[in-house]
Structure formats: structure tokens, C-alpha cells
Structure 1
Amino acid sequence: MTPAEAEQILADMFAPWVRALDMRVDEIGAEGAILTIPITDDIARVGGIVSGQALATLADTAMVFAAAGHFGEFKPVATTNLDTVFLRPGSGERIACHARVVRAGKAVVFASAEMIAHPSGKPVATATATYMVP
């Protein structure tokens, strides 16, 4: 799957409020996926930092695409658990989320993600998730 194919899936199959984050698929493959979002006023909270809801959505979506990269095709997985740890305020120009599959079975996928602010390169948050594969 190419980044362009992944972005088309994002456009066709994800909710409008997820698409409103203006996510870009920078990389996708068997090793994982990297998705980024611009830091805009629409996702900023008081003080101009990225809201936790936007970061959690970015992480969840990136981990879904990491699973797609792992499987070599998009499978509509169901999030059963999502844990997000916020490390510092997200600020700058973009947030990049590096997601990977930790372990995948036939029915369950475990994934992790790290979110980095750009251009500073500082970690903003981490996340782990469990997905059911229908």
C-alpha cells in the first residue's frame, strides 16, 4: 500500500471529523505508518497547544494504518483499548505520529505510537492500542 492509497482510504472510509484534522500519510509499510497533522487554531486549546483529543485521534488513526501496512491491505479493525500518555504540550508546525504493530494475531492487533512535534523534534505523547480484527 502506498501513502496515496492510504490517503484515499482515509478520505473514503473515515469520519468527517477525523478527516478535518487534515492528516497526511507520509509513510506506510510492513514496519508501520507515519501520519502527520498541521497544528492549526482548529485543534488548539488555551495557550495554542494541540488538544489531547486531536492527539488521541491522530494516534488511533496512525495505528490503524500501521495495522494495514502490517497486513498489506486495509482491514476495518475495531479499537477495543486506547491509552494515551501526554508528555508535554504540542506546539510548532506539525505533529508526526510514528505507529507500529507490536503483535498481530488473526483476531487481535496490539500497536504503539509516538507523537513528535515539528520542527522541535520533541516527543509530545505516546499511545498504545488494541484492535479486534472482524
Structure 2
Amino acid sequence: MVSPGGHFSPWIADLGLRIERIDNAGVRARLPRSARIQRPGGVVMGQALMAAADTLLVLALSEALGRKPSMATVSLTTNFMRAAVDCDVIAEARPLKLGRSTVFGEVVFYADGDDKPVGQATAVFAVLPDDAAAKFTRVGTPAGG
């Protein structure tokens, strides 16, 4: 999966996220049921939901901005309300506030076929300058350093 500012980490593709809708109002995606992201008993792992939230919010916020800047997560707060068991998880990501250098978004997670949320996440992202990627050779390592 290609991110707006480059590429998501390869393991994000392992989540198998399927985008069902994307527009300036947000993103709807499906996190397919998979033994790779389930605990014993079929409960979807919180780590998978948090990775999905971060990923989908970058897509939703980029779409709402009308451009594809590089972004860095400033904060991600996740609330788990109840277990999603042996099911696909539906994620609805939407922008909350768009600024020049900081953007805010929310994701609500549902067990497929159920309208009661299983979780919710809010996040803040720094919108990086267009030349930010050129300043780093590796994550956190300044070029030439």
C-alpha cells in the first residue's frame, strides 16, 4: 500500500486492509478476519486496530487536505470498548480539524454487521514540509549524519 508521502511499512500490507470508500469526508475500510491478528479465542488484537487507525487516518486526512503530504504521528489515543471476535472489522476514519501544520482525525471500529462500536481512536499528525523526506536517509537519521 502506497502512503501519500511515500510508502507505508511493508508489514502494513500484512494487515490486508481493503478500502471500501475514500473521499474528502473520510475513509471506510475493512480489516479482514485473520489468524495473524487474532488472540486465542478469535479476538482481534488491539495492536492491529491501532496500526489500522494510524494508516487509515493518514489516508483520510490526505484526501481531506486535497494533497498528499508526508505526515508524522504526534499522538494516537485508542479506546477499546468490547471485543471483535471471529469477524472482519469495519473502520470509519474521518478528519476532525485540518490545520496548515497539524491535523486531527478519528476512527471508529465496528464488528462487521454490528452498529455498536468495538473501539475508537483519535490522532494528531504533524504535516511535514514537502522537502522533509530528502532531509532523512533513514527514519530519525539526518542525511549525512
Give the structure-1-normalised TM-score: 0.87
Deviation beyond 3 Å, 4+ runs, structure 1: 7-10
The equivalent position to 1:104 in structure 2, one of 98, 105, 110, is: 98
- Number of aligned positions between the proteins: 127
Contact 1:92 1:117 in 2 (8 A): no
RMSD: 1.6
SS in 2 for 1:98: strand
Q: Which moved more, 1:97-106 or 1:86-95?
A: 86-95
Aligned-residue sequence identity (percent) comes to 33
User: Residue 51 of structure 1 corresponds to which residue in structure 2?
Assistant: 45
Contact 2:26 2:93 in 1 (8 A): yes
Structure 2: how far apart are the matches of 1:104 and 1:9?
Answer: 18
* Gaps in structure 1 of 5+ consecutive residues: 1-6
User: Residue 22 of structure 1 corresponds to which residue in structure 2?
Assistant: 16
The equivalent position to 2:35 in structure 1, one of 34, 38, 41, is: 41
SS in 2 for 1:80: strand
User: Residue 119 of structure 1 corresponds to which residue in structure 2?
Assistant: 113
Encode CA deviations 1:4-51: one digit per residue, 9 max, x unaligned.
xxx5548x7111111100011111111111121101101001211100
Structure 2: how far apart are the matches of 1:32 and 1:120?
Answer: 20
User: Residue 83 of structure 1 corresponds to which residue in structure 2?
Assistant: 77
Contact 1:29 1:72 in 2 (8 A): no
Larger radius of gyration: 2
Structure 1: how far apart are the matches of 2:34 and 2:55?
Answer: 18
Whose helix fraction is larger, Structure 1's or Structure 2's? 1
Cα–Cα, structure 1 residues 74 and 91, in superposed 2: closer, same or farther, change >3 Å?
A: farther
Offset of residue 123 of structure 1:
1.2
Query: Which amino acid in structure 1 is aligned with residue 114 of structure 2?
Result: S
User: Residue 3 of structure 1 corresponds to which residue in structure 2?
Assistant: none
Structure 1: how far apart are the matches of 2:67 and 2:90?
Answer: 22
Structure 1: how far apart are the matches of 2:108 and 2:41?
Answer: 23
The equivalent position to 1:65 in structure 2, one of 59, 70, 84, is: 59
